Chain A
Amino acid sequence: MTQSHWPLYEVFIRSKQGLAHRHVGSVHAADDQMALENARDAYTRRGEGSSIWVVKSENLVATQPEDREAFFDPSDDKIYRHPTFYTIPDGIKNM
């Protein structure tokens, strides 16, 4: 059966000088192509971007705020992952 609810898409745009795509919002559209066209019209009217990704919202999986501690904590005690952990004698240059 055809439903009249158009699915929701999340929109990501990489700006002209941007290095990465950034989430800017969402649009409703019947299909992928319409989602791209709607995203272009709604989010790039003033030259905001040079590349658009759209993805159906139902395909996104997100971390849960209540799991935040358990999920991210393990990296806190691995301080040797940071360059500041290592001491280098004064006078060593370009490092």
Chain B
Amino acid sequence: MTDEQHQAHFDATIAADTPIEAKDWMPDAYRQTLIRQIGQHAHSEVIGMLPEANWLTRAPSLRRKAILLAKIQDEAGHGLYLYSAAETLGCSRQDIYEKMLDGKMKYSSIFNYPTLNWADVGVIGWLVDGAAIVNQVALCRTSYAPYARAMVKICKEESFHQRQGYEAAMAMANGSAAQRAMLQDSINRFWWPALMMFGPTDTDSPNSAQSMAWKIKRHSNDELRQKFVDNTVPQLEALGMTAPDPDLKWDEASGHYRFGTINWDEFYQVIKGYGLCNHERVGDKRRAWESGRWVREAAMAHAEKNAAKAA
């Protein structure tokens, strides 16, 4: 087939909502944008282990500690599923991982915020994983099948994270005045960063139009952000907490919550590498990579020796 025929077949496949599989022909730009998106999604899972792991040794009860450990283990697994999906597009995990370490690929802006108290762990589970679920449920119907399958798998596990996070927040909301203050402080710090997870506004999102046309994205950033706010405000109220947004109010006419303007300057600073923890996060991962090199090489040398013995 010629390129034009391939392109026509691809367009028809997308139009018919038939998923694209790894061995199907696809436009190079489609492949590249998926490697970027799935790769960065995978990096986010890996970097996202750091803010929560910060509290692992200091979790206030053995139950909360075991839950947090299980959750971080899930994040590692999610990273793995996503790297698998990315690799079906012909990239190598090691290659894109090193691009992340070199700052040539991004990860979610949210993980550049520090975890300063225990409540942050609950709030990350509830708000951050909550935002991730809204995003990822929408991606369960993305046009690239290996990505869609990874999302289905991940969403099942993310809902465990969101519920455990909300339960931890609830314990604090029903606790002492000091615990309630700690929870409110955490919400104040994570509310806007969670809203930023949905990306730039529709008018300002360079990849959106093409991704929507290719059905990689099924809903716009602003649609998903709105859905998250609508879902989350009642959960916030049930905790007896408030959002740090004086403009947040119910709009009867539209059936949606109206909310204030996001600080986009801050958002762009963070994704360019100048957020609160960017340096520390990538530094930690680079240290782990460099100091683990001899272990990876030892494992490979041992495997080669055994293979040679068996041959």
Contacts and interface: CB of A to CB of B under 8 A. Distances in A.
A26 B84 contact: yes
A2 B294 CA distance: 11
User: How many residues of B sit at the interface, in one of the four size bands?
Assistant: 20 to 34
B80 A8 contact: no
A93 B307 CA distance: 59
B74 interface: yes
Contact of B300 (A4, A8, A43, A46): A4
A25 B84 contact: yes
User: How many residues of A sit at the interface, in one of the four size bands?
Assistant: 20 to 34
Contacts of B32: none
Contact of B23 (A3, A25, A46, A65): A65
B92 interface: yes
A45 B74 contact: yes
A27 B80 contact: yes
A89 B293 CA distance: 73
A57 B230 CA distance: 44
B299 A64 contact: no
A43 B303 CA distance: 23
What 10 A-B pairs come out closest when comparing CB atoms? A31-B303, A30-B299, A26-B84, A30-B303, A42-B77, A2-B301, A25-B84, A65-B23, A65-B24, A30-B300
Given A4-B94, A64-B23, 6 more contacts: A2-B297, A6-B296, A30-B300, A31-B307, A65-B21, A65-B25
15 contacts: A2-B300, A3-B300, A5-B94, A6-B299, A8-B87, A28-B93, A30-B296, A31-B299, A31-B302, A41-B77, A42-B80, A42-B81, A43-B77, A45-B74, A46-B157
